[in-house]
Amino acid sequence: MTDLVDEIKEDIKQERTMELLRQYGLILASCMVLIVLVSGGYVWHKDSQQQQYQELGSTLYTALRDSSQRNYDEAITKYDTLSQNKDQAISAIASYKKAQLFIQKKDYKQALAILFEIGNSEHAPKEIKELSLLHWSMIATSYPDLIDQGDVELVLTKLSTDNGVWRYSAKQQLAFYYFSHKRQEDARGLFNQLATEAGVPNTISQRAQQMVQVIGELSDGEV
């Protein structure tokens, strides 16, 4: 039974990591390019601003190139420059991309600090803030010595109750947090919600159904 639970959790961890690092990382990078192009076109008639956005686009291009070639330190330096941009969306996306590179370098402490800062920014776009906190909580639960796990619970609870785009992923992660901390009834309650509520993505719903069954069998075995 433990093997099944571990397998489910590992599948989720790998799938979520790939989803965050590949799919949404690419989307965020694409958004960043779009922002640069649109903004650059909007101010095209102003030479000083035109040059500014040309330089911004060039820095972004070389950062993406360095990342793809695993020149992480060089890419981090460029994203750090981009994160100082006055445009809050560009700044948040650049910081998020920088955190991804620290993860690639296995510097999880630095990645956690950056993600938490984005997630608590007053100016970053809401979706990027929530994505950053979800990613932060995923790393924090994987490396519990780095972060107070009570803080992780608070963050996941807020993400799962807010009407944000990541609420179901946050609720699933919170349910596994409860399960890992032997809070079976709390875990069962959240998994039941995910298994029965309308609108829950199929993958999350199906896994929740599996976990409801697992918890039920574990409870029966303790009787």
Amino acid 45 reads H
- Measured distance CA(27)–CA(31) in Å, rounded: 6
**What distance in Å separates the CA atoms of residue 108 and residue 114, rounded to the nearest whole number?**
10
Cα separation, 85 vs 66, in Å, equals 20
- Please give the pLDDT value at position 113: 96
Q: How far apart are CA 25 and CA 1, in angstroms?
A: 35
- Residues found in the chain: 223
Over residues 182-193, mean pLDDT: 93
Residue 135, token pair as written in the block: 């990613």
Helix (H) or strand (E) holding 92: helix 88-104
pLDDT at 136 over 90: yes
What is the residue extent of each domain of the chain?
1-147, 149-223
Buried b (16+ CB within 10 A) or exposed e, 172-191: bbbbbbbbeeeebeebbebb
Q: What is the DSSP track for 118-170?
A: HHT-SSS-HHHHHHHHHHHHHHHHHSTTTS-HHHHHHHHHHHHHS-STTHHHH
pLDDT at 221 over 60: no
Whether residue 119 contacts residue 130, with contact meaning beta carbons closer than 8 Å, is answered with yes
First to last CA, the chain: 16
* Residue labelled with tokens 């445009």: 87
Q: What is residue 14's predicted lDDT score, i.e. its pLDDT?
A: 47
- Provide the CA 53 distance to its chain's centre, in angstroms: 28
Mean predicted confidence (pLDDT) in 167-186:
91
Q: Phi then psi for 71, rounded to 5 degrees?
A: -90, 70
| Residue 70 three-state SS | coil
pTM: 0.74
3-state secondary structure of 213: helix
Please determine, for residue 57, whether its predicted confidence score (pLDDT) is greater than 90. Answer: no
- pLDDT score of 27 more than 50: no
Determine the average pLDDT of the residues in 128-144. 91
**For residues 38 and 61, what is the distance between their CA atoms, to the nearest angstrom?**
16
